[in-house]
Chains A and B, each alone.
Chain A
Amino acid sequence: MASELILHPAFLVLLGLLVLPLLPPGARGKAFPLFPLAALWVCWNLSADQSLSVEFLEYRLSILQVDPLSRVFGIVFSLIAFTGGLFALHLRDMRQQLAALLYAGSALGLVFAGDWLTLFLCWELTALSSTVLIWSRQGTGSGVGLRYLLVHLFGGSLLLAGILGQVHASGGIALQLLEAGRLSSWLILAGVAVNAAIPPLHAWLADAYPKATVTGAVFLSAFTTKSAVYLLARVAPGWEVLIALGVVMALYGVIFAVLANNIREILAYHIISQVGYMVAGIGIGTPLALNGAVAHAFSHILYKALLFMGAGVVLQATGRSRLTELGGLAGRMRLTLWLYMVGAFSISGFPLFNGFISKSMVVSAALDAHHHAAFLLLGLASVGTFLSIGLKLPWFTWFGPVRPGVGVSRPPLNMHLAMGLLALLCVGFGVFPSLLYAELPYVAGYRPYTIPHLVESLQLLAATFVGFWWFRSKLAGQPTLTLDTDWFYRQPAGWVRRCLVDGTSRLFDRADAGILSGIGWLAPRFRNPALWFGRAGERHQGPAISGGDPDATRPTLELAVTLVLLSALLFTAIAFFR
């Protein structure tokens, strides 16, 4: 059994949890990427029929169930954990390193899980481990991490309730397609919607990701939302409600990114937007659309990690991440700028970049399936993506007015190496799409480089640039906060605390004071029982506990005790002689 576990990619990554603490602090960062690299090798060599199961109570847990869908997600999860490790090579924070390994390992465990119980365990582990990556950033405060954790525990509870219903109805724990019309299916869908950041359950993402550590945000951008996309593709392909939700996501992220001032918040809102394409693709449900959703998840993980790395390098080098505090850095951060721009061209769907070959699949599938409104609205979301990620963010960070007093320190070489590797992959898959298409799970012929696709993209992008250039002054960052649906739990937080915490605390304080004052009243009376009989003059004499001079009342007490003893003797004698 132990020898078989070594063939599970998740266990190879989790092995790092045991090994890393034994290494000297300086070697931990260098050893970190080796574990996901080994997992990548194993994932690449997994065959579609491989499986591994263990007995647990009366259940047989299927901890490794390989098919083309899980394999492609396993490959990209291992790949991004490796490049994330390369980006964080210089890090000397074991808490973050272990959390990142646990996060990557549980995400891999999730995509290879063949049953609901294993999946749920991994689901919760991703939530716990990712919270540490938010908590680890100095000066962020615990509030944001706590909100993140509570939202995910809420989502996990919905998922668990759904799983229990599903297991009860089907009589088994194996992962199966959800059946429409069942409450358990909707509960599972709601639980997954939290992690997929489907509005209105999305606000945790834009709240937490900008406040994560520089290296932690790279891992966060990859695993949580994409493992939810994987699960949707696994259990709910063709659910039409997902088309509408996906389109809403795509546009929602675009609108809020225009208003955002923090560069990592702009990127976070565009995770929601890009995951919208995947959710819509899963909702369309044709082989081309599902392949498009999977391919876009694959591409998105690569370019979004690259973008978060770029923003992370800016934060690391300048200590700033607000557009209102940045500007004119191009001359001092040329390499970071160009590597970031590769990610920006990819997410915007420029031909020859990986976003083009995957996003166009989803959009084409919408047209093929005659979802014309979805096609046009996803096209509109593409405009917004290029506007915010390809134009607004780089313009006001690296170009635009120079901010006085912004120092730029040199980032470690490994950060640029990781960005370079991802940039290479973004271009590589864009130029040779068949490398990715060969790994996709469904059979659906698709050619991205056709004249109609190129015309569509070039016109959209060129015209968006013109619109941006004319209106660019309107897009300058503003030092404001944008309300989102987290208002519904952040705004009442003070009121809830006042009622449930402060109110309870006040009640305890008053009860405490009442009990102390009661003790203060009773103590002298037990010490000097004569006080019970109303020796008014002595009631309030002396300190509360001493109760005055006990000798003063001793004769009275002697009389009382003698009377009691005599009565007892009398009654005993009567009882004895009867």
Chain B
Amino acid sequence: MKRWRWMSLAAVMIASLVLERAAAQDPSHLAWWHHIPGFYGWLGFLGCIGIIVGSKLLGRKWLQKDERYYDGE
């Protein structure tokens, strides 16, 4: 991917982190994760990897079969 696209992505992340610090969350809705800086970024990144690895593992070990699996039905 081109360099300027990575830089735009980094700019979005930095802007979101600054905004996160600047704008306070409604205190009635505060939860434990609101104290972790960039929590949604971590959720996105680790969640994405977790979904890929977890799904593929589940598929390879158990769920994925040959396309003709049901052909004899």
Write the residues of chain A forming the contact surface with B, with a CB cutoff of 8 angstroms.
143, 254-256, 258-259, 367-368, 372, 375-376, 379-380, 383-384, 387, 450-452, 454-471, 474-475, 478-484, 490-491, 493-494
A/B interface sample: 22 pairs, CB < 8 A? A143-B73, A254-B51, A259-B63, A367-B29, A368-B29, A376-B33, A376-B43, A379-B40, A452-B20, A454-B16, A455-B19, A459-B39, A460-B43, A464-B47, A466-B9, A467-B44, A479-B67, A480-B59, A480-B65, A481-B66, A481-B67, A484-B63
Q: Which residues of B contact A380 (CB under 8 A)?
A: 43, 47, 51
Q: Which residues of B contact A367 (CB under 8 A)?
A: 29, 31
User: Are the CB atoms of B40 and A467 closer together than 8 Å?
Assistant: no
User: Are the CB atoms of A490 and B59 closer together than 8 Å?
Assistant: no
B23 nearest CB across to chain A (Å): 4
Chain B residue with Cβ nearest A482: B63
Q: Which residues of B contact A376 (CB under 8 A)?
A: 33, 43
Interface residue B4 (Cβ < 8 Å from any Cβ of A)? no
Q: Mark B39-54, 1 if CB is under 8 A from A, else 0.
A: 1111111111101111
Chain A residue with Cβ nearest B21: A455
- Cross-interface CB contact of B44 among A256, A383, A452, cutoff 8 Å: A383
User: Are the CB atoms of A463 and B41 closer together than 8 Å?
Assistant: yes
A493-B9 CB under 8 A given contacts A455-B19, A459-B44: no
Q: Which residues of A contact B31 (CB under 8 A)?
A: 367, 372, 375
Q: Mark B1-33, 1 if CB is under 8 A from A, else 0.
A: 100000001001101110110110110010101
Give the distance in Å from the alpha carbon of A145 to the alpha carbon of B72 in the complex.
Answer: 17
B9 nearest CB across to chain A (Å): 6
Q: Which residues of A contact B38 (CB under 8 A)?
A: 459
Give the distance in Å from the alpha carbon of A493 to the alpha carbon of B70 in the complex.
Answer: 10
A459-B16 CB under 8 A given contacts A464-B45, A480-B66: yes
Give the distance in Å from the alpha carbon of A463 to the alpha carbon of B10 in the complex.
Answer: 10
Chain B residue with Cβ nearest A480: B64
Q: Which residues of A contact B56 (CB under 8 A)?
A: 258-259, 474
Q: Which residues of B contact A465 (CB under 8 A)?
A: 9
Give the distance in Å from the alpha carbon of A479 to the alpha carbon of B44 in the complex.
Answer: 28
Q: Which residues of B contact A372 (CB under 8 A)?
A: 31
Of B49, B62, B66, chain A has the most CB atoms within 10 Å of the CB of B49
8 closest residue pairs by CB, A with B: A467-B48, A463-B44, A451-B23, A459-B40, A258-B55, A463-B45, A459-B41, A460-B44
A247 nearest CB across to chain B (Å): 14
B12 nearest CB across to chain A (Å): 5
- Cross-interface CB contact of B42 among A254, A463, A483, cutoff 8 Å: A463
Q: Which residues of A contact B16 (CB under 8 A)?
A: 454-455, 458-459, 462
- Cross-interface CB contact of A451 among B19, B49, B53, B70, cutoff 8 Å: B19
Chain B residue with Cβ nearest A471: B52
Q: Main secondary structure on chain B at its contact with chain A?
A: helix
Give the distance in Å from the alpha carbon of A76 to the alpha carbon of B73 in the complex.
Answer: 39
Of A372, A387, A491, chain B has the most CB atoms within 10 Å of the CB of A387
- Cross-interface CB contact of A467 among B1, B45, B59, B63, cutoff 8 Å: B45
User: Are the CB atoms of B9 and A490 closer together than 8 Å?
Assistant: no
Chain B residue with Cβ nearest A392: B52
Q: Which residues of B contact A474 (CB under 8 A)?
A: 52-53, 56
Give the distance in Å from the alpha carbon of A363 to the alpha carbon of B15 in the complex.
Answer: 23
Q: Which residues of A contact B54 (CB under 8 A)?
A: 255
Of A368, A456, A470, A478, chain B has the most CB atoms within 10 Å of the CB of A456
B69 nearest CB across to chain A (Å): 5
User: Are the CB atoms of B49 and A467 closer together than 8 Å?
Assistant: yes
Of A143, A454, A484, chain B has the most CB atoms within 10 Å of the CB of A454
B31 nearest CB across to chain A (Å): 6
Name 9 extra pairs, CB < 8 A, besides A258-B51, A387-B51: A367-B29, A380-B43, A455-B16, A459-B38, A463-B41, A464-B44, A468-B48, A480-B64, A494-B73
User: Are the CB atoms of B20 and A455 closer together than 8 Å?
Assistant: yes
B64 nearest CB across to chain A (Å): 4
Q: Which residues of B contact A143 (CB under 8 A)?
A: 73
- Cross-interface CB contact of B73 among A452, A479, A490, cutoff 8 Å: A490
Of A258, A454, A462, chain B has the most CB atoms within 10 Å of the CB of A462
B40 nearest CB across to chain A (Å): 4
- Cross-interface CB contact of B52 among A379, A387, A481, A493, cutoff 8 Å: A387
Q: Which residues of B contact A468 (CB under 8 A)?
A: 48
B21 nearest CB across to chain A (Å): 10
Q: Which residues of A contact B33 (CB under 8 A)?
A: 376
Give the distance in Å from the alpha carbon of A458 to the alpha carbon of B9 in the complex.
Answer: 10
A494-B72 CB under 8 A given contacts A451-B19, A483-B65: yes
A451-B22 CB under 8 A given contacts A367-B29, A384-B51, A481-B66: yes
Give the distance in Å from the alpha carbon of A199 to the alpha carbon of B1 in the complex.
Answer: 38
- Cross-interface CB contact of A481 among B12, B65, B73, cutoff 8 Å: B65
Q: Which residues of A contact B53 (CB under 8 A)?
A: 471, 474
Give the distance in Å from the alpha carbon of A147 to the alpha carbon of B19 in the complex.
Answer: 52
Q: Which residues of A contact B42 (CB under 8 A)?
A: 463
User: Are the CB atoms of A493 and B73 closer together than 8 Å?
Assistant: yes
Give the distance in Å from the alpha carbon of A479 to the alpha carbon of B59 in the complex.
Answer: 12
Give the distance in Å from the alpha carbon of A15 to the alpha carbon of B65 in the complex.
Answer: 46
Chain A residue with Cβ nearest B72: A494
Give the distance in Å from the alpha carbon of A460 to the alpha carbon of B40 in the complex.
Answer: 5
Q: Which residues of A contact B29 (CB under 8 A)?
A: 367-368
Give the distance in Å from the alpha carbon of A456 to the alpha carbon of B70 in the complex.
Answer: 43
